Structure 1
Amino acid sequence: MDSLPRMKNKEYLHELRRLHGELVAMQEWVKSTGAKVCVVFEGRDTAGKGGTIKAITERVSPRTFRVIALPAPSEREKSQMYLQRYVPHLPGAGDVVIFDRSWYNRAGVERVLGFCTPEQSDQFLKLVPEVERAIVESGVILLKYWLEVSADEQTRRLESRINDPRKVWKLSKLDLESYSRWYDYSRARDTMFQATDTAWAPWYVANTDDKKRGRLNVITHLLSQVPYKPLKHHDVTLPKRQKAGGYREPALQVRRIPTPYGNVA
């Protein structure tokens, strides 16, 4: 079957607007019921984790939707039990926590690039299903997404970052090394799936060669996994503003920003 053409921006924005409304409804349900939602995003470099997370969170409250993107561990954190630094970030009542990369670093980048030993990675894969069982049994809705991109599309996206000042921060030495080790990452991914795709915490794979379709597919699936109810529409009338009561704008000598694009009004 031929693949679909890349989605047009107008169609994408129209559908995203609708889904944003559903995400707000989900947010209000989470807040009112005290639900706990944890969403894990993993995938190949350039697969679009950041863009997908931004699409999910751009119209909801950061007080409810928290994005966790931990830096490299400190020396003290390296001395701790591996999962210890992730546990404090798990959701409490009324929280949606999104991990932009997660404890699965140990099964992917750390394993492939030698930041942990094979024995440490194997031990992690042995233990993490039961840790996730405990998370789910505590009442957390745990969703794990792997974003997959083809080799050709990854090449195109990395090349686009080289000379684009908006994207240069996305291109690191680790990205380049990861690019050269495509099949090492494929093997690590397969091993991870085999060990941690469980009935209580399954992996969901989304192809993101078309970023727009990929984002919409992930958001739609996420919404389907949370038993929220649509928001009821309430008619709202703005109240009358108070009278000025003699107030006048003072002639304060405040600093105003330059207006190279002109003043509004």
Structure 2
Amino acid sequence: MKEPDPRPDFELMAERQRRFEEDLIDAYDEELEMEVDDRIIDGPAGFTPEHREARRQYFRELFRLQGELVKLQDWIVATGHRLVVIFEGRDAAGKGGAIKRITQRLNPRVCRVAALPAPNNRERTQWYFQRYVSHLPAGGEMVLFDRSWYNRAGVERVMNFCTDEEYEEFFRSVPEFEKMLVRSGVQILKYWFSITDEEQELRFQNRIHDPLKQWKLSPMDLESRRRWEAYTQAKEVMLQRSHIPEAPWWVVQAVDKKRARLNCIHHLLSQVPYHEIEHPHIELPSRVYHEDYSRQPVPDAMIVPEVY
């Protein structure tokens, strides 16, 4: 039988409050770790009072928006809504960082990320959209595409991975494909993250010199840098030919990563008619104890060494 805690109730309550606060801080530390990973606070400029205040405002607004995303998630589950959010943009434009902040507090069973690799030999012979269809949301789900079927309008076009006929067929098909999804009840949001030539070069140089980020650079990324103008032209054609009322494009100014994240999340929330879902009051049941049960010790050999 478990022995009662001899401490007074006020000490127990204070201890419980302290543990709650530690847990809350630990959850926020995850975002702070990401921020350090961005290396934005490095250097003298990162320690000015103005910069510190800007960071405080950023975190304050980010946590508020993430709270709204949780409400959106609850509404999607309650209503069976189906939401697709497409993230496109140049390499190092900040798509992944925005996706991380959106998914950070959400249930991965409700909000999924689809980041498909290059098609294999079998997929190359399928209907172009086929491999994307299996990742579309069911009722009560939200899917974020970290790059999407618009690969054909971007990297495949620039790198000559598709023929002119396949490229033209894509633009004939994609409006009908998206209209069909919208008619079936799938909401589609399409974001293009826009950065300047100079900003991409700076971010690529950062990745080259940061061993924790070098994995983000591929030969394809380096080649895309050389073909900046070809990508610009392909983007302009894509936005012009696939901007439809049912699924319009939205351009996120992404030179400032923090502003881009906040603006994208704020806009996403504004495009969905969600509202807060009331939840029943939750009572934590008392644990059941049995006098004939005694917990067995775990063998020392199974314990992970406490190096830290």
Normalising by structure 1, we get a TM-score of 0.92
Counterparts in 2 of 1:183 and 1:50: CA distance versus 1, 3 Å:
same
Counterparts in 2 of 1:15 and 1:244: CA distance versus 1, 3 Å:
farther
- The equivalent of 1:40 in structure 2 is 86
CA–CA separation in structure 1 for the residues paired with 2:240 and 2:172 = 11
The runs of at least 4 aligned residues of structure 1 exceeding 6 Å deviation read none
Matched residue type, 2:140: G
- The equivalent of 1:221 in structure 2 is 267
> Which of 62, 68, 92 is residue 114 of structure 2 equivalent to?
68
- The equivalent of 1:194 in structure 2 is 240
How much has 1:231 moved relative to structure 2? 3.8
- The equivalent of 1:143 in structure 2 is 189
How much has 1:243 moved relative to structure 2? 3.2
Counterparts in 2 of 1:102 and 1:171: CA distance versus 1, 3 Å:
same
- Pairwise CA RMSD of aligned residues? 1.7
Between the two structures, name the one with larger relative contact order (CA 8 Å, sep ≥ 6): 1
- The equivalent of 1:113 in structure 2 is 159
Secondary structure at the aligned position of 2:190 is classed as strand
CA–CA separation in structure 1 for the residues paired with 2:124 and 2:286 = 58
How much has 1:252 moved relative to structure 2? 2.6
More helix by percentage? 2
How much has 1:240 moved relative to structure 2? 2.7
Deviations 1:4-33 (A, max 9, x none): x97833222211111111111111111111
CA–CA separation in structure 1 for the residues paired with 2:291 and 2:284 = 20
- The equivalent of 1:80 in structure 2 is 126
CA–CA separation in structure 2 for the residues paired with 1:62 and 1:79 = 31
- The yes-or-no answer on 1:132 pairing with 2:178 is yes
Matched residue type, 2:84: C
Q: How many residues align?
A: 257
Matched residue type, 2:304: I
Normalising by structure 2, we get a TM-score of 0.79
Contact 2:81/2:141, CA 8 A, preserved across alignment = yes
Deviations 1:184-236 (A, max 9, x none): 00000000011000111100000111111101111111111111102447654
Judge which range, 8-17 or 182-191, deviates more: 8-17
- The equivalent of 2:37 in structure 1 is none
Contact 1:126/1:195, CA 8 A, preserved across alignment = no
Over the matched positions of the two proteins, sequence identity in percent amounts to 51
CA radius of gyration, larger in: 2
Which consecutive residues of structure 1, in runs of 5 or more, have no partner in the other structure?
Answer: none
- The yes-or-no answer on 1:31 pairing with 2:58 is no
CA–CA separation in structure 2 for the residues paired with 1:67 and 1:44 = 18
Deviations 1:35-81 (A, max 9, x none): 11011110011001111111000100110111111111111110111
Which consecutive residues of structure 2, in runs of 5 or more, have no partner in the other structure?
Answer: 1-49
